[in-house]
Every structure is written in structure tokens, then in C-alpha cells.
Amino acid sequence: MAERHVSGDRISAFLDDELPEERALTVTRHLADCDACLTELEELRATRDALRALPSMSLRPIQPGLDRREHRRRGVGTRVRLTVAAAVLPLALVTAAYVAGGADGDVAPSTELFLVEHVARTGGGPVPAPIGASNR
């Protein structure tokens, strides 16, 4: 196994046939003896092939100076709204479930739990009066 590895940039250039013939031959000899560099080449080739297999996308940039109606006519507004809705909907459902409560319908912790935690934190300090109670 070779001691020095081929850099990732050089492996990429080798894969794209961008190296001069002499350097390409040197990399080829190295790859014959180095499993690590050969694995990197194979992974890079697989990544490149997977990216090339993806369908092409034509994205129209949003042009500054166009008003909202122009963007909507071009379909940008609808896509943005659908993307935002897809991102916000799960959050809204989780929030609604939390507000509705758990199995027993209780969202706030019980008074007993509050008192136990309060005593544990304060070492038995005074418990504040409930909201709305008179201080007499």
C-alpha cells in the first residue's frame, strides 16, 4: 500500500479527465496499490453518476423590482405558499395537540408537583400566594 495518498482535488480532476497525461498515469499507478484512494474514487464516481441521474430543474430567479402580482402570475407565490404550509402544518398540529392536553386533558403541572419541586429548589422556602388571593 502506498504511503502518500492522492488529494481529493486530484482524484476529482482524474475522474473528469482534467489531468495532464503524465500525472494521470501517476494517479493510475497509485490507485492500483492504494485501496483507500481507489475507494474515494469509486465513491466520487457514484456521487457524480447519482447527481447526473437526477432530473434537471429549471428555476426562475425572482427578479427585483417585480410586484407581487407579477410573481404570482409566474407561479412563484403559489410554490412559496405551499412550501411554507408544508413546513408550518406539522408545527401547528403539534402545538394544537399540546394545547389540547395529554391523555388526562391536563396541560399545567399539578399543584402537588409544583410544591414538591419548589421545596426541592428552595430548601423549603415560602410558597408564593396563589394569583388573585388576598395577602391578609
Kind and range of the H or E element at 118?
helix 111-122
Kind and range of the H or E element at 51?
helix 35-53
**Which ranges of 54-127 does DSSP label H, i.e. alpha helix?**
68-73, 76-100, 111-122
Where are the chain's structural domains?
Answer: 8-53, 68-122
The grid cell for 30 is: 497509485
Which distant-in-sequence residues (6+ apart) come within 8 Å of 81 by Cβ? none
Burial (CB < 10 A; 0-12, 13-18, 19+), residue 11, is buried
Site of grid cell 410558597: 127
Q: What angle do CA 48, 50, 53 make, to 5 degrees?
A: 110
The whole-angstrom distance between residue 68's C-alpha and the CA centroid of its chain comes to 29
pLDDT tens, N- to C-terminus, the chain (136 residues): 446 899 888 988 998 889 999 999 999 999 999 999 999 989 988 988 888 888 877 766 666 665 555 555 555 566 677 777 778 777 777 777 666 665 555 555 567 777 777 677 777 666 666 666 665 5
| Phi and psi angles of residue 110, each rounded to the nearest 5 degrees, phi first | -70, 160
